[in-house]
Structure 1
Amino acid sequence: MLMHQGIGLAAYNDMPIRRAVHAVYECCCSVALAADLARGRPYANHDELFRQADALLFALSEESIDSILQAYPDVGRRPGSEKSAAEQCAVFDERPEVMEQLSSASRRYLERFGFGFVMYCNGFCAQDVLGTITDRLHNDVDTERKVVRNELARINRARLERMLGPEGGYSNW
């Protein structure tokens, strides 16, 4: 969960640099990207900020992307969770066998590519994620690296949207 939610673009533009970096770091898990995005203020509108966030993400080195991926939990687990796949079923409302398949596919993905699976999965069930992992296991490493950056961009955008709130701001009535 983000600490900074619905703050509005004007408030983000006016924040002290350290607070602005912290707000964006929550969205992207990269100090470098967050600092560069904060230094680029003020932004005229959400779209300008989103385009700059994408440009900064796609300019990062592979090592920086690997660092970002370290912040993401294993598929089917919440950060810090020690629960087994079967125990996670209650959380994800999925059958134990699907969660075991998801865990197995996630391990195969890590073994194949050397980094964890990441996907923007708003509204997807475990079976959808399993199908996506299975499909992406057919990619070569270079292709998968590109897919991962695109997925990270989608995740960042969703989090930045939540951080900022609606384009016109919230009505205070």
Structure 2
Amino acid sequence: MLLHQGIGLGAFNALSRRGAVHALYECCATLAWANPVAAGRPYASYTELFARADAVLVTLDETSIAEALECHPIVGVRPHSTHSRAEQCSVWTDDPLMMAEIARSAQVYEERFGFRYLWCSGDRGPDELLADLVHRLDNEVDAERKIRTDELAKITRTRLERMLGPEDGFPLY
């Protein structure tokens, strides 16, 4: 769960450097990403912030990516969940056989590639997660690193959106 939720771009830009790094670290748990994104403030728009966040993320080295992945649970391990931590990127199932197969495939994946499987589900379910996981096992390591980084970018974007809240602000009550 993010501590900074719905703060808006103006408040994010006004945070101290340390506060901005902290808020960003909640979105992608590596200082190698949070520091340069915080240093880019002030951002004139969400689009500008998102572009900077994506640009920095794709330049991260494997050590920094590994740091970021540490905050993502291994899919299929938590009971009834194939959760990737960001609620918008979660898949839930009560099927123990499906969970066992996902957990087994995730373990094979991690052994094959040396890093955790990461997937931002959108509106897709556990069957699609398992199909994606099995399909990605056929990838070459370099191709899979790119896909993993793209998935991390999607999850990070959902967290940034939740941190900022709606671009036009929340309605006044």
TM-score (normalizing by structure 1): 0.89
Counterpart of 1:166 in structure 2 is 166
Deviation per CA, 1:18-50: give whole Å up to 9, x if none. 111111100011112111111110000000000
Counterpart of 1:89 in structure 2 is 80
- Residue identity opposite 1:45 in structure 2: S
Cα distance in 2 for partners of 1:39, 1:5 equals: 20
Counterpart of 2:25 in structure 1 is 25
Structure with bigger RCO (C-alpha 8 Å, 6+ apart): 1
Give 1:1-173 correspondences, 5 Å limit: 1-78=1-78, 88-89=79-80, 92-173=92-173
Aligned identity (percent) is 46
TM-score (normalizing by structure 2): 0.89
In structure 1, the gaps of 5 or more residues are 79-87
- Which has the higher Rg, Structure 1 or Structure 2? 1
Cα distance in 2 for partners of 1:25, 1:65 equals: 13
4+ residue runs over 4 A deviation: none
Deviation at 1:90, TM superposition (A): 8.0
Aligned residue pairs, count: 164
Deviation at 1:77, TM superposition (A): 3.5
Residues 20, 90 of structure 1: alpha-carbon distance in 2 compared, 3 angstrom cutoff = closer
Cα distance in 2 for partners of 1:51, 1:61 equals: 19
Cα distance in 1 for partners of 2:18, 2:172 equals: 27
The Cα RMSD (Å) is 1.5
- Residue identity opposite 1:21 in structure 2: V
Higher normalized helix content (fraction of residues): 1
Cα distance in 2 for partners of 1:165, 1:3 equals: 13
In structure 2, the gaps of 5 or more residues are 83-91
Counterpart of 1:83 in structure 2 is none
